[in-house]
Structure formats: structure tokens, C-alpha cells
Amino acid sequence: MDYATLLQILDSTIRLAVPLLLACLAGLYSERSGIFDIGLEGKMLMAAMCTGAVAALSGSVWVGLLAGIAGSVIFAAIHGIASITFRGNQLISGVALNFVASGITVLIAQSLFRQGGRTPPLSGDARFNPITLPFAESLSGVPVIGPLYSEVISGHGALVYIAFLAVPVTWWVLYRTRFGLRLRAVGENPASVDTAGISVIRLRYAAVIITGILCGLAGAYMAAGLQAGFGKEMTAGRGYIALAALIFAKWRPWYALMATLLFGFFQALALRPDVIKNTMGFDVPVPALDALPYILTVIVLAGFVGRAIPPRAGGEPYVKER
């Protein structure tokens, strides 16, 4: 494999990792607060459709982004109502909302555009345009580092940089702020938060809404960054891969970055089976690469690579003790 091919693969790794990363961080907020969320997939899908539709109608990707976030937050709020207010089964709620999202996105897109459940192709300002980072042009001549900077690191849409920025920000929020302390506490032992006079319900809703916003970004990137428009089931299980990455990362932000980059790398490789054949000398079936993130997650879950201990109060609705 030559350097140029490597750069191509790294470039697509980043692009493919971004939706995973945003969704993974989204899940991190929710699950750290004690609300399991297997509905990341549905929220992403909803956001992708809203972004695709509104960007196509308005011609502005930013308006589309807001719509995407709104769509995702609505679903997050329903999950919140079911699992926080009515203390329902969080897993079932997540599964249910994934189905609703899968169906309703097509219904809406079809009724708006009548293009077989898709939104019209986006172009120009209706997509996230690449941002050329400073000195990308001038440094491109520098050997090794130059192309890496100008081709892999520079030239992505705004959401890519936001996604990577979200990692340190999440770390900082989680471990350095009052909100983060309370968020971690409510996911471990909600009674400790409640007796300290802080509302468990409000905290958890805040977390769930943040999850909605980040899933909104992830979905918007799918529709207006990675691709140009919404198509049926376009998230293709990314919400579940993000969930897998979250477990792989043991619910920690920096590890989430590494896990999603790894899974993004697998996805990038799956797009270029020829590269594997050339470098490794044998054929790796594409389905095997597709399944790799899931297999790795099962191995992590099995505790063979360090134990993944979820937040202790995760999945349990909070009921005051007598």
C-alpha cells in the first residue's frame, strides 16, 4: 500500500468515524446519567431526514442542522418521558423508537418530496462545505506531514471539527464541572443526588436532551456531510455500532474517540477490499469487516479485555425509597 492510498483510507476513516463519534458521545451522556439508550439509531435517522428535508427546502445546511437537532431532540424527549417520568423499560423504549423512526422518516420524506422516501439531492450551501484549515495549501509540499495535514486533517465539513472538539469538551464537562459531577453521580446512585436536594428527574432529562442534540449532529452529518440527502435506513446500524463503541470505550470520552476511530477504520477498509488484498496478500471478506466492530464489542463485553462496568444505576428507573 502506498502513502497516497493510506491517506485516502485515513481520510475516509475520519469521515466514517464522525457520525459514530457523535452518536457515541451522545450515548455517553445518557448512559452516564443512568438512562440506557439503544435508540441512538432512530434519533440519528430522524435527524438525517429532518436535515435532508429542511436543507433541501431552505437551501441552507444550517437551517437543516437545526431541524435535524429538533427532530432528534423530540425523540429523545419521548424516550425521557417513557423512561424517566413513567419509569418504563428503557431498552424497550429505545427499540420502539427505532422502529417509529425507521417508518416515520420514510413517511414524511415521501409525503414531502414523493421521491420514493428519499429527500432531494443536496448541493452547494445545503451541504457542509469543506473547510480548508490554515496553511493547508502551503504545507502540502512538506514531505509526509504535509499531505497528511492537507488531505486528511484539513478539508472536512464543520461538523467533523465539532465532533472532535466534543471529545475534550465532554471530558471537561464530565470531570471538571458541577454538572458533570452530578451527572456521574445520578448514574451511579441517584439516591445520593436526590438526598442532596438535586432533582434526579431534571438531571436525567438534561442528559437525555444533550443526547438528542448530539444525535442530531450525527444525523445531520450523515445527510448533509457524508452523503447528499436522506435515504431510507441510511444510518444502517451506525447507532448500534456507536453503542458498541460506547461499551468498548467503557463509557469514557477519550476511549470513545479511539473506539470510534477504530470502527471507522474498519468501515473504511470495507470500502476498499482491494487494499487489504494487496497489503495482506489474502482476501478478507467484506462481511467479516462489517461484523468486526460487533465481534470486538462482544469480546469486550465478555470481559476478556478488561471488564466493561456500566454505570451502576443504568437502566433502573429511580423510585424514592421509603
Partner 1 sequence: MTRLPRWADVVLVPLISLLLAGIISALVILAIGQSPREALSTMVTGSVGSAYAWGYTLYYATSFMFTGLAVTVAFHGSLFNIGGEGQAQLGGLGVALVCLALPWPHWTLALPVAMVAGALFGAAWAALPAYLQARRGSHIVITTIMFNYIGAALIIYLLVNVLRPAGQMDPATARFPAGAALPTLHDLPILNLIFDKKIPANVTLFVALFACWLVWLLLWRTRLGYEIRAFGKSEPAALYAGISPFKVTMLAMLVSGALAGLMSINNVMGESGRLLQNSSEGAGFIGIAVALMGRNHPIGVFLAAILFGMLYQGGAEIGLWTSIPIELRTVVQGLVILFTGALDHMVRMMLGVFFRPRRTEVA
Partner 2 sequence: MTGGNASGRQETAAPFAIELRGISKAFGPVQANKDISIQVAKGSIHGIIGENGAGKSTLMSILYGFYKADAGEVLINGQPTAIPDSQAAIRAGIGMVFQHFKLVQNFSVLENVILGAEDGALLRPSLAKARKVLAELAEEYELEVEPDAVIEELSVGHQQRVEILKALYRHADILILDEPTGVLTPAEADHLFRILRNLKEQGKTVILITHKLREIMEITDTVSVMRRGEMTATVRTAGTSPEELAELMVGRKVLLHVPKEEAKPGRTVLEVKDLRVRDDDGVERLKGIDLTIRAGEILGIAGVAGNGQTELLEVLGGIADGTGSIVLNGESLDLTGKFSDGQSRRRQGISHVPEDRQHLGMIMDFTAWENTAFGYHHDPAYQKNRWLMDNDAILEDTKGKMERFDVRPPIPTLQAKSFSGGNQQKIILAREIERNPDLLLVGQPTRGVDIGAIEFIHKRIVELRDAGKAVLLVSVELDEIMSLSDRIAVMFDGRIMGERDPRTTNERELGLLMAGVSGEAAA
Among 142, 175, 285, 312, binds partner 1 (CB under 8 A): 285
Rounded CA separation 174/287 (Å)? 37
Q: Is 181 in the site for partner 2 (CB under 8 A)?
A: yes
- Quote the CA–CA distance of 143 and 30 in Å, as a whole number: 43
**CB-neighbour burial class of residue 138 (10 A; exposed 0-12, middle 13-18, buried 19+):** exposed
H/E stretch holding 103:
helix 90-113
Burial zone of 186 (CB within 10 Å; 0-12 exposed, 13-18 middle, 19+ buried): buried
Is residue 131 classed as helix, strand or coil in its secondary structure? strand
Our CB check for partner 2 shows the closer of 87 and 202 to be: 202
What does 181 interact with, of partner 2, partner 1, none (CB < 5 to 8 A by kind)?
Answer: partner 2
**Residue closer to partner 1 (CB basis): 49 or 61:** 49
Q: Binding to partner 1 by residue 55, rule CB under 8 A?
A: no
Burial track 66-77 (b if 16+ CB lie within 10 A, e otherwise): bbbbbbbbebbe
Q: How far is the CB of 104 from partner 1 (least distance, A)?
A: 5
Distance (Å, whole) CA 258 – CA 265: 10
Cell 471488564 belongs to 307
Say whether residue 306 binds partner 2 (CB under 8 A): no
Residue closer to partner 1 by CB (options 94, 253) is 94
Residue 196 touches partner 2, criterion: CB under 8 A: yes
Residue 193 in contact with partner 1, rule: CB under 8 A: no
What is the grid cell recorded at 296?
A: 470486538
CA angle 267, 272, 278 (to 5 degrees): 130
Near partner 1 by CB under 8 A: residue from 96, 158, 201, 258 = 96
Q: Does 169 bind partner 1 (CB under 8 A)?
A: no
Site for partner 1 in 106-165 (CB under 8 A): 106-108, 110-111, 117
Q: Does 287 bind partner 1 (CB under 8 A)?
A: yes
CB of 149 to partner 1, least distance (A): 35
Residue 106 CA neighbour count, 13 Å, CB half: 11
- Verify binding: residue 319, partner 1, rule CB under 8 A: no
Q: Which residues form the interface with partner 1 (CB under 8 A)?
A: 38, 78, 81-83, 86-93, 95-104, 106-108, 110-111, 117, 232, 237, 240, 243-244, 247, 285, 287-288, 290-291, 294-295, 297-298, 301-303, 310
Q: Which residues bind partner 2 (CB under 8 A)?
A: 175-182, 184-185, 188-189, 191-198, 312, 320-322
